[in-house]
Amino acid sequence: MKCGAGLEYPGQGHTCRSSTPPPAPPRTAGWDVATWFVVGFAILFALAAIAAAVLGSIPSGRARPLPPNGTGAAIGFVLANLTLFVAIIGLVISGLIWGRGTRQLAEAHGSSGRSYSRHWGTRVFPACVVSSAAIAWLATDRTAPVVLFGQAALRTLGAAALVGGVLHSRTRVLRLIAHVNRVVAGHCSPVASQGPAWPLSPTPTSDDWNAGQWDPDVLRDIEARRHRDRT
pLDDT of res. 199:
46
pLDDT of residue 18: 47
Average pLDDT, the chain: 76
Q: Where are the domains of the chain?
A: 29-185, 189-231
How far CA 145 is from CA of 51, 58, 110, 152, 221, in Å, comes to 13, 9, 51, 10, 46
- In this prediction, residue 24 carries a pLDDT of 54
Alpha helix (H) residue ranges in the chain: 29-56, 72-108, 114-117, 121-138, 145-185, 216-230
Q: Is the pLDDT of residue 14 over 60?
A: no
| pLDDT for 212 | 55
C-alpha–C-alpha distance, residues 53 and 67, integer Å: 10
Per-residue pLDDT of 138-157, as tens digits, reads 877 777 888 889 999 999 99
pLDDT tens profile 191-200: 444 444 444 4
7 pLDDT band, cuts 50/70/90, is: low
Q: What is the pLDDT of residues 156-171, one digit of tens each?
A: 999 999 999 999 999 9
What digits encode the pLDDT tens for the residues 80-138? 999 999 999 999 999 999 999 988 888 888 777 788 888 888 889 999 999 988 988 88
pTM: 0.64
DSSP structural state of residue 199: P
Backbone angles phi, psi at 65, to 5 degrees: -65, 140
